[in-house]
Amino acid sequence: MTLFPSPIFLTLAALLTLLFTGLAGAGVVGRRPSLASFFFTLLSLESLAIALSGLLPLVTTSDTRLILPGGIPGLSFHLRLDPLSGFFLLLLGGASAGVLLYSAGYTKNEAPEKKAQFLAKTTVFLFFTGGVFLAADVYSFMLFWEIMAVASFFLILSGENTEGVRRASYLTLLLAHGGSMLIVTAFALLATRELPSGSLTMASFSFEALKMNHLSSGEALLVSLLFLLGFGAKAGVVPLHVWLPLAHPAAPAPASALLSGVMLKAAIYGLIRALFDLVGLPQLAPSFGILLLVTGAFMALFGILHAILQSDTKTLLAYSSIENIGLILLGTGLGILYLKTGHPLAGTLALCAALYHALNHAFFKALLFLGAGTMIHATGETNLNRMGGLFKKMPVSGALVLIAVLSISGIPPTNGFVSEWLLLQSTLQARDLLGTIQRSAVLFGAAILVLASALAAMGFLKFFGVGYLGQPRSDGARAAHECSLFERLGMGGLAMGSLFLGLFPSLVLGEILKAVSPLTSTTLPSPSGAYGWAWLLPLPPAGPSTSPLFLLLLLVILTLPVLWLVLGTEGKKRRLSIPWGCGYRDSYRRSQATAESFAQPIRHFFPVFFSMKRHLPSPDDPDPVFLLSVEDPHWPLLYRPLFRLFVAIAEGAERVRSGRISIYLIYSFTTLILLLSVLRWH
């Protein structure tokens, strides 16, 4: 086979073209800012080329490899493009194409140097994220991974130059590097297992060599936990999620869309690749699947509860990303549990559902962040309580955001419904599990999945209702205007992608199955793709299973009487009222529901998930004010105590420092003796 027609060569060419265009464009835009739209549009087309190159290994089920010289003797770049890598490259290219086209309009009024910098940062981020999906050895993977993390740091800094933005970016970088240390530790444990002393070479760190090492059950569990925590720091796994609600509001809207839509999925890719390909399915324990399932379920509930309570648009979306990553982990853990207990069909279905939801989330969450960017640009406000009535001012972008809202709420026939439906179908296979603990864990996950889906609908009803409906709540909302053509085109592309994923799930599921089957050595029966959307029953319905066609017919039957009541009043006397006016005849904006009042029941029903502080005025207070602040409980319970501990250690170390060279020599000599003693004892 020649090099040129191979899919991996085409993918590398597409990625390098993107990088060259972005860096060259940044140099040109710095001098001629009017060309920024041209370069963003060109990069959008090149991102589609990356998506098509990722589709090749899915269509052909090919697995191509390439070794490139690394510039250091004995050190090479091992690259691999298999169906799993192709799936995530498809995700990267498809989601980033809409974001880049949107950026052409979003950065229109920015200073020339900021346009050029954002162009360069975005292309570097996308190139090295694509490299993560291709890397096939530890050196290449960690190089691409770390540069991707640094690029995300600079993307966040693209926002306003404030103390809050800098703190968010540094916290993101700190947790990313902490996660990288755990990942490297896991790789090292894999590489050194079963190797005699002195035989460790760079070849020992290729993924092909790592997967050949056999681990004991305890070692496999330890390595799996290290991978979960390491990649979880980048994916926003609770309690390592605290950077997400700070970074997304700080970053520009296109950067937030890339961080949530693409970078979080890079962490999911790393976790799946490490667990199924490096540790290996035979060495994974069912208990780890249960741990992953329960962790994902808790994340889903925690994330959506905190999302509902937010009044800041992008903070709400950030917490929602935690919920969706939780659903992906739930499906992954469910797949491991089924596969390890002898149910390969159910396990394959669960993994397909997890990857389907990852793809869906990349599209509708990127669209939501871009929609939030248009809301903020149009009103000059970030708080939902300062918006309102935007649908009349921005009908096109509002309709596109509505598609994303319906998708993330799991309303049929959107893409969010399909993946959550598949997740629910996979939980219904719990009847085949033998252990009570296993069945209980799956049923717990199913209950949380249903609850989180309902809460997501509530949260995004609030997002769209308070932000787009009702009356304008500020001068900025009254002066709002529709976004630019490029912004609408970028959002429209993502909306079309979301609709395609929802309307043609059997076609999409067939391609996802090609990425999952090599990991599970199982394929789903042909009926999964034979009947189209209406009969989306991935497994033979021997147990609990409900046809979407039945639910669709039931929905139509229940809707007909409502339509008759509404349309039957045509020609009769009606009273017109202001929407969301709470029954008042005037347009007094303070009579409308607010983001806080909408979320009040959640605070009362789930207080254990929040850290709340109340301030009650004294009886003689001339200006009595009731204040309630809600905070992520991980700050007062975990991170602030850790911060105080580190400060105390630093202050203690400062007291030890004397400034005398003789004291420092004693410290060095004592440390050397201790290390030699440890080595001698070992």
State residue 372's pLDDT score.
94
Q: What is the mean pLDDT of the chain?
A: 85
User: Residue 192 CB: number of other CB atoms within 10 A?
Assistant: 13
530 band by pLDDT with thresholds 50, 70 and 90: very low
Domain edges within the chain: 634-681
Answer yes or no: is pLDDT of 553 > 80. no
3-class SS letters over 486-513: HHHHHHHHHHHHHHHHHHCHHHHHHHHH
State residue 534's pLDDT score.
45
Answer yes or no: is pLDDT of 618 > 80. no
20-64 pLDDT, tens digit per residue, is 999 999 999 988 988 999 999 999 999 999 999 999 999 988 889
Of 570 and 445, the structure prediction assigns the larger pLDDT to 445
State residue 19's pLDDT score.
95
Segment (H or E) for 564: helix 548-567
State residue 581's pLDDT score.
58
Q: Which of 248-257, 460-469, 540-549, 593-602 has the lowest mean pLDDT?
A: 540-549
d(CA 345, CA 184): 33
Answer yes or no: is pLDDT of 637 > 90. no
Of 165 and 545, the structure prediction assigns the larger pLDDT to 165
Q: Which of 27-41, 419-433, 518-532 has the lowest mean pLDDT?
A: 518-532
User: Residue 129 CB: number of other CB atoms within 10 A?
Assistant: 26
Number of residues assigned to the chain: 682
d(CA 246, CA 180): 20
270-326 pLDDT, tens digit per residue, is 999 999 999 988 889 899 999 999 999 999 999 999 999 998 999 999 999 999 999
Average confidence (pLDDT) over 458-486: 89
Average confidence (pLDDT) over 97-108: 93
State residue 495's pLDDT score.
95
State residue 619's pLDDT score.
76
Segment (H or E) for 78: strand 75-81
State residue 297's pLDDT score.
95
587-604 pLDDT, tens digit per residue, is 555 667 777 777 788 887
Q: Which residues contact 159 (CB under 8 A, 6 or more apart)?
A: 165, 250, 251, 252, 255
532 band by pLDDT with thresholds 50, 70 and 90: very low
Sign of CA dihedral 97, 99, 100, 105: positive
654 band by pLDDT with thresholds 50, 70 and 90: confident
d(CA 567, CA 564): 5
State residue 450's pLDDT score.
93
State residue 201's pLDDT score.
57
Q: Which of 73-82, 202-211, 300-309 has the lowest mean pLDDT?
A: 202-211
Average confidence (pLDDT) over 541-550: 54
